[in-house]
Amino acid sequence: MTEILAPAGNFEKLKTAINFGADAVYAAGRSFGLRAKSSNLSQTELSAAVQFCHSHQKKIYITVNIFAHNSDLQKLPSYLQFLNEIKVDALIISDPGIFLMAQQYAPDIPIHISTQANVTSYKAVEFWQRQGAKRIILARELTFAEILTIREKCPEIELEMFVHGAMCMAYSGRCLLSAFFNRRDANRGNCSQPCRWQYELIEKQRPDQRFFVEEDEKGTYLFNSKDLCLFDQIKKIKTAGIDSIKIEGRMKSAYYTAVLTRAYKNAITFADQPEKIAVFRDELKKVSHRKYTEGFFHRFDATDTQNHEESSYIRNYQYLGKIVKVKNKLVLIDVLAKFSLGEEIEFIFPDQKKDISFTVQEIWDADGNEIEFTKPNTQIYLKNSQKLPAFGLVRKKIS
Ligand code: SF4
């Protein structure tokens, strides 16, 4: 069975991913990963995360995929030794220097070559295989035909591919826009995403006059990539013998992780029964996303991968919180966003058939007082007479 690999931007998201069907998660420590703005995991949390995953017979891969400069190298040996000791299941690496150091300081841990290394041909796969890599995370910029050729010519190595999430306008991360505008280096995990901005032109002698660079009346988003979504290609991907499919999004919410992990888990499991996965196609629209594209899957042509009209997210649903416990027909909820009496809300669970929606008729605060609406970062009680499964999240439709 093809592995479902889900993002774990922090410990809570990691647990959510596992509970909602991930076979493996990828996460970072506080350094050397490419999502510096995500809270990531402390060393104590990394140890606990490995134990949690292994106790659920799941795997955890740790990103060490910055392009290291000399100044980064000093702290790497002790960090790699630590990852070796806690027995993470793989290191995700793009930099050949870090690859060498990982072989020296974390010799027991398999190495996966990050998509950041831009592996785009079977010869590049062969190269990394000879160096000792266990898995290649293929470049997002490959067509499916190219992936099939790689699979055929390199049958022994594990192949992983991204199937969902944000994309760069450059070969993943090989981009200096953020370093140029903000002095924040995308290749050391600190991208500020200037590819999503709208651009205008200012002539040096007329600083107060802005010249609109106008593609059309909606503006000009020169570099703005759509989000990848290969949900409808999962059967082909599974049949091709791809070992692992990956969901991007360590900076996204636990809700995002839950909905997408559940959708792709079902898409893989029921790849031959389209009637069983139709409902999850709709679920893909219930997380915050940009317009979807199938990227380079069909052909190497970037025309359809960019959105030149606007860069805002499409948000149809709001994540309201998570169910903490259910006792005596009362549901205790950690609230993240406001909802009020009379609103329609939904509980979602790992098994989508158990999801329920209902109108909120009574709310109590943690002290048992009746209230009319919830406040973020509080706990509240709702009444429920049904038996609820574990690990529920709460959402509402907003448009
Ligand atoms: S600025 Fe955009 S294209 Fe460049 S690395 Fe960041 S996300 Fe990717």
Structural domain range at position 102: 3-170+225-305
In three-state secondary structure terms, 319 is: strand
Query: Using 50, 70 and 90 to split pLDDT, how confident is the model at 215?
Result: low
Query: Using 50, 70 and 90 to split pLDDT, how confident is the model at 309?
Result: confident
Query: Using 50, 70 and 90 to split pLDDT, how confident is the model at 287?
Result: very high
Atom of ligand 1 nearest to the CA of 170: 3
Nearest to 171, CA basis, from 31, 305, 290, 308: 305
Mean pLDDT of 46-72: 96
Question: Distance (Å, rounded) from C-alpha 245 to C-alpha 260?
Answer: 12
Question: Distance (Å, rounded) from C-alpha 24 to C-alpha 62?
Answer: 11
Among 263, 282, 305, which residue terminates a domain? 305
**Pocket, ligand 1, Cβ cutoff 6 A:** 168-170, 173, 175, 177-178, 186, 191, 193-195
Residue closest via CA to ligand 1's atom 6 equals 193
Q: Give yes or no: residues 331 and 252 share one domain.
A: no
Residue 210 lies in a domain: no
Q: What is the pLDDT of residues 323-336, one digit of tens each?
A: 999 988 899 999 99
Q: What is the pLDDT of residues 372-395, one digit of tens each?
A: 999 999 999 999 888 899 899 999
Q: Give yes or no: residues 239 and 323 share one domain.
A: no
Is residue 85's pLDDT more than 90?
yes
Q: What is the pLDDT of residues 160-189, one digit of tens each?
A: 999 999 998 888 778 888 888 888 888 877
- pLDDT score for 373: 97
Query: Using 50, 70 and 90 to split pLDDT, how confident is the model at 257?
Result: very high
- pLDDT score for 118: 94
Sign (positive/negative) of CA torsion 333, 336, 341, 344? Answer: negative
Q: Give yes or no: residues 161 and 91 share one domain.
A: yes
Mean pLDDT of 18-29: 96
Is residue 217's pLDDT more than 70?
no
Residue 202 lies in a domain: no
- pLDDT score for 363: 97
Q: Give yes or no: residues 159 and 241 share one domain.
A: yes
Q: Give yes or no: residues 263 and 114 share one domain.
A: yes
Cβ neighbourhood burial of 344 (10 Å; 0-12, 13-18, 19+): exposed
Lowest-confidence segment of 48-57, 71-80, 111-120, 191-200 by average pLDDT? 191-200
- pLDDT score for 219: 63
- pLDDT score for 36: 67
Higher model confidence: residue 154 or residue 306?
154
Question: Distance (Å, rounded) from C-alpha 133 to C-alpha 125?
Answer: 9
Q: Give yes or no: residues 9 and 38 share one domain.
A: yes
Among 238, 271, 305, which residue terminates a domain? 305
Name the average pLDDT for the chain.
92
Q: Give yes or no: residues 278 and 365 share one domain.
A: no
CA of 204 to the centre of ligand 1 (A): 26
Number of structural domains the chain divides into: 2
CA of 169 to the centre of ligand 1 (A): 7
Q: What is the pLDDT of residues 225-235, one digit of tens each?
A: 899 999 999 99
Q: For position 322, which CATH number holds?
A: 2.40.30.10
Nearest to 87, CA basis, from 113, 108, 118, 66: 108
Mean pLDDT of 290-295: 94
CA of 177 to the centre of ligand 1 (A): 7
Q: Give yes or no: residues 240 and 386 share one domain.
A: no
Q: For position 133, which CATH number holds?
A: 3.20.20.70
Is residue 305's pLDDT more than 70?
yes
Residue 178 lies in a domain: no
Cβ-Cβ contacts under 8 Å for 231 (sequence gap 6 or more)? 163, 164, 263, 264, 267, 280, 281, 284
Question: Distance (Å, rounded) from C-alpha 273 to C-alpha 48?
Answer: 37
Is residue 95's pLDDT more than 90?
yes
- pLDDT score for 216: 65
Among 261, 281, 305, which residue terminates a domain? 305
Q: Give yes or no: residues 101 and 229 share one domain.
A: yes
Q: Give yes or no: residues 255 and 295 share one domain.
A: yes
Based on its alpha-carbon atoms, the radius of gyration of the chain, rounded to whole angstroms, reads 22
- pLDDT score for 271: 95
Q: Give yes or no: residues 272 and 389 share one domain.
A: no
Residue 187 lies in a domain: no
Residue 208 lies in a domain: no
Q: Give yes or no: residues 248 and 374 share one domain.
A: no
Mean pLDDT of 199-225: 78
One-letter amino acid for residue 22 of the chain? A
Q: What percent of the chain has pLDDT over 70?
A: 97
One-letter amino acid for residue 156 of the chain? E
Residue 274 lies in a domain: yes
Residue closest via CA to ligand 1's atom 1 equals 193
Is residue 34's pLDDT more than 70?
no
CA of 190 to the centre of ligand 1 (A): 10
Residue 78 lies in a domain: yes
Atom of ligand 1 nearest to the CA of 173: 5
Question: Distance (Å, rounded) from C-alpha 360 to C-alpha 344?
Answer: 6
Query: pTM for the full model?
Result: 0.92
**What is the per-residue burial (b if ≥16 Cβ within 10 Å, else e) of 20-43?**
bbbbbbbbbbeebbbbbebbbbee
Residue 257 lies in a domain: yes
